[in-house]
Structures are given as C-alpha cells and as structure tokens.
A and B are shown apart, each in its own frame.
Chain A
Amino acid sequence: EDKVVQSPLSLVVHEGDTVTLNCSYEVTNFRSLLWYKQEKKAPTFLFMLTSSGIEKKSGRLSSILDKKELFSILNITATQTGDSAVYLCAVGTGTASKLTFGTGTRLQVTL
C-alpha cells in the first residue's frame, strides 16, 4: 500500500522565522511529488517535483526532492501570518498520476 508521511504534524512559529516541512514516501511506480497549501477551503497547488536535486522556488517558498532517500522538504523563509495553513504533500503514481496524500502539517505563524 502506498504511504506518505509528513512531519511535524503541527508547528507554531513567530513571524519572520524559517520553517522546514518534511515529507517521506513509500510508493510503487513513483511519478511526481506535489505540495499543496490548504486554508479553510480547497488545496492550492504549490509545486510539482519529478527530478531529484532540482530546487523549485516561488517567492519565499522552495522545495526539493530526493528520490534516493524518498523524501522532500518544503522551506518557507521569513514566514508571515498569511502562511498559516495546512501544507499537504502528495505523491503521484501510475500513468494517470493518482495522488496519495499525507495527513498534512498544520503551520501557525504568530505575531
């Protein structure tokens, strides 16, 4: 059975801190790893990673994949209160990239 594990489960930081969220996986027929941000609504797509060692960056967010060690990290620098959300990691498998989701990391950024 495909498995995606995220850590930590939850995290409280002060505005301006840098955070690292972790995602490890055990799946068959890996295709891609995706990160989503979910506030009180639908998950919003952040990144899709398919190759090891290539960093994807968008503003203060960045992510990298290690296909040998089967994990990915999501970094957020200079956090803001608007970064407070649940961050979901999902791994796509098979020809249609069926996604298996982790349970998420709940991030709270305080003033």
Chain B
Amino acid sequence: DARVTQTPRHKVTEMGQEVTMRCQPILGHNTVFWYRQTMMQGLELLAYFRNRAPLDDSGMPKDRFSAEMPDATLATLKIQPSEPRDSAVYFCASGAFGQGQYFGPGTRLLVL
C-alpha cells in the first residue's frame, strides 16, 4: 500500500532553532507539495515541485523557509530560524498527472 511518509511526526523546539522536515513521496509520483495547516488559516500551500524542480514557492516566507528536493525520493522543508508563529501541522503531498494528491501523516511542529 503506497503512501507518503514524513519525519518527524512531532517536533518541539525553541524559538531560533533550525527545524528540518522530511518527506518521501509515493514512488512514481513526480509532483510534491508542502502545505501548512493551522486552525486560523486552514490549509495553505507553501511550495511545490515537479520532477524535482521548484515550480512555485510564493506561499513561503522566503527569509526563513526553504524547500528542496535533493532526489526523487526525498523532499525537505527547512525553517531557520524558527518562530512561535510557525507552530502548525506541516503536510507533504505527492501526485502524478491525472491523479489526486495524496497526503502524508504530517509533522506537528511546536515552537516555544
């Protein structure tokens, strides 16, 4: 049963620390998305890649967030330095042409 995996599932850190979240997309999916979900804002698209190339990262605060896809099996989202307002659930999703997007279990981040 193919699924998107994310690590870590939970992260508690202090303001100013670096946070790295990882995602393994479903094998064969060529599009990878990073979302953030909060009670106030709902699901927001942060960045997405197709065939490992970044297509749009306009949803990300560029000064502190960065997203990369070093190979087809790994996508990363990094926050440096982290702030309390970054506390949220971060989802990775993958998809392919003509298919839906499938979400990973999420990383629940709390920045103190």
**Which residue on B lies nearest to A97, using beta carbons?**
B95
Are A42 and B103 interface neighbours, CB within 8 A? Answer: yes
Query: What is the CA–CA distance of A96 and B42 in the complex, to the nearest angstrom?
Result: 21
Tell me which of A19-27, A62-70, A74-82, A99-107 binds B. Answer: A99-107
Are B42 and A45 interface neighbours, CB within 8 A? Answer: no
Q: Does A34 contact B (CB under 8 A)?
A: yes
Are A99 and B31 interface neighbours, CB within 8 A? Answer: no
Are A96 and B48 interface neighbours, CB within 8 A? Answer: yes
Are B100 and A96 interface neighbours, CB within 8 A? Answer: no
Residues in B with CB closer than 8 Å to A44 are 103
Known pairs A45-B100, A48-B99, A48-B100; A98 contacts B105 (CB<8 A) = no
Q: Does A88 contact B (CB under 8 A)?
A: yes
Residues in B with CB closer than 8 Å to A53 are none
Query: What is the CA–CA distance of A95 and B105 in the complex, to the nearest angstrom?
Result: 26
Query: What is the CA–CA distance of A71 and B50 in the complex, to the nearest angstrom?
Result: 28
Residues in A with CB closer than 8 Å to B91 are 42-43
Are A45 and B101 interface neighbours, CB within 8 A? Answer: yes
Are A96 and B55 interface neighbours, CB within 8 A? Answer: yes
Q: How far does the Cβ of B110 sit from chain A's closest Cβ, in whole Å?
A: 16
Residues in B with CB closer than 8 Å to A36 are 103
Known pairs A101-B42, A103-B42; A96 contacts B102 (CB<8 A) = no
The residue in B43, B99, B102, B105 that gathers the most chain A C-beta atoms within 10 A of its C-beta is: B43
Contact of B103 among A43, A47, A97 (CB under 8 A): A43
Residues in A with CB closer than 8 Å to B45 are 98-100
- A to B CB contacts below 8 Å, 12 in the list: A34-B101, A42-B103, A42-B106, A44-B103, A47-B100, A95-B50, A96-B56, A97-B101, A98-B45, A99-B33, A101-B43, A104-B42
Residues of B within 8 A of A (CB): 31, 33, 42-43, 45, 48, 50, 55-56, 91, 95, 97, 99-106
